[in-house]
Amino acid sequence: MGKIFTVNFPEIGEGVVEGEVIEWRKKVGDVLMQDEPVVVVMTDKATVELPAPHPGVLKKCYREVGGIAVKDQALYDIEVEGNDDPEPSHDEKSEPTVLKRQPEVIDKEFSKKTSNSVAPKDSTQILATPKVRGLARQLGICLSSIRGTGDDGRITVEDLHPHASQEVVSGQSAIFHLPGDEEQPLIGIKALMAKKMTESKAKIPHFSYFEDTDATRLIQLKDNSKLKAKAEGIHITFMPFILRALSVCIKKYPILNSSYDAERSKVILHQRQNIGIAMSTSLGLIVPVLKEVEKLGLEALIRSYEDLIQRARSSKLLPSDMKEGTLTVSNFGSIGNHGLWATPIINYPEVAILAIGRIHQQPIVKNGMIIIGDRINFSWSFDHRVIDGDLASQISRSFCSLIENPAALL
């Protein structure tokens, strides 16, 4: 008989202290290979597969599906051969895989009630499932004022009932149900995005700025580059050219690539241009980040962008691909080839976001004549604490000039 090795729930992201078990890929008694996915866990940041750090046999699972795994607490046991402690995995620094698709979450009560009401062990960490947090927001309840009755002081749905008022804080009627209504829980990426967007709108004073731009030369440049890219097996879109223009614009206006620290009233100017690419999926929005764009020429940018998008579509992104973004781009116009204008929500703590409408034809006046021109619309949202209207117009005009004269991007 070998030795039992306990695998704890690891740190899989900054500030992540717990996760909801949504699927066991292996069952007790199964043989595990090193780095083979064992369990799928949903945190408030992402849904990830956790691989086995050592080969062995799965002996015990400490959390059922729907249960909450807590950082540094036991998640499962592996029986390993021999009596010595297993050597650390050579791939210990490799990260769990971010999933684009999530299995269905079993709808059941996650926490067992205890007889006594206890407060969380660490008052700075409020333990509650995404479902409880969302309901608390709807009811206008501050979770820090509640003593949880679940395991380790976890706050349950029942704990919210005594604190629920007839009216939510905003003065609107409380959430109600009519006969025949159905509940549809937000899980995985959609739950994360709901939380993120609520945080962004609450913390950032948004204002939007729009510009209609001539896309004639951009189309020509893309078509000319398409032949070479096709020969190399690369699918080319307008996005790399737009990202390149954005990178050049950032060099002129570094404030565009910054974050605002409200507590210290300081703007953090980021030296690296880590541009997030908002992608729509059937399960929600993901924002993989293209790192250090400032170091990439146009050809390298085309390849790096294509690689990132392909890994996102094949669910091969790592957690590191989803963080440290400094500016976000949303290509909403590519979805069904619809959409001209938008008022995008900034990805907190960034200070701006750019939304790209579809390229379309419309009548324009040129040299006193009405002609049909190729146009592309850009919709910006800015953090008004950092970028005012005058600066926003300068940034937008500089960016659009590059789109109208893209030879400067080569």
Would you list the DSSP string of 112-129? Answer: ---SS----SSTTS--B-
Q: Look at residue 314 in the predicted model and tell me its pLDDT.
A: 83
Domains and CATH numbers, the chain: 3-80 (2.40.50.100), 205-409 (3.30.559.10)
Sign of CA dihedral 399, 405, 408, 409: positive
Residue 160: which of 181, 145, 178 has the closest Cα? 145
Residues tagged active-site: 384, 388
pTM of the model: 0.64
Give CA angle at 182 (179, 188), nearest 5°.
160
Q: Look at residue 317 in the predicted model and tell me its pLDDT.
A: 84
Cα dist from 303 to 158, 274, 282, 335, whole Å:
52, 16, 25, 22
Q: Look at residue 345 in the predicted model and tell me its pLDDT.
A: 96
Q: Look at residue 87 in the predicted model and tell me its pLDDT.
A: 54
Q: Look at residue 97 in the predicted model and tell me its pLDDT.
A: 61
- Cβ atoms of 9 and 69 closer than 8 Å: yes
Coil, strand or helix at 371:
strand
Six-digit token pair at 389? 């209207």
- In the numeric block, the tokens 């790592």 are attached to 318
Q: Look at residue 230 in the predicted model and tell me its pLDDT.
A: 73
Contacts of 108 (CB under 8 A, 6+ apart): 66
User: What distance, in Å, lies between the first and last C-alpha atoms of the chain?
Assistant: 64
Contacts of 121 (CB under 8 A, 6+ apart): 152, 153
Six-digit token pair at 271? 């030296």
The ranges of the chain with pLDDT < 70 are 1, 13-15, 44-45, 83-125, 130, 138, 164-174, 227, 231, 281-283, 335-336
Cα dist from 220 to 216, 217, 305, whole Å:
6, 5, 20
Residue 274: which of 287, 293, 249, 301 has the closest Cα? 293
* Cis before 185? omega within 30: no
* Interatomic CA distance for residues 361 and 218, integer angstroms: 14
Six-digit token pair at 104? 């269905």
* Interatomic CA distance for residues 397 and 206, integer angstroms: 19
Please provide residue 360's backbone torsions phi and psi, each rounded to the nearest 5 degrees. Answer: -150, 170
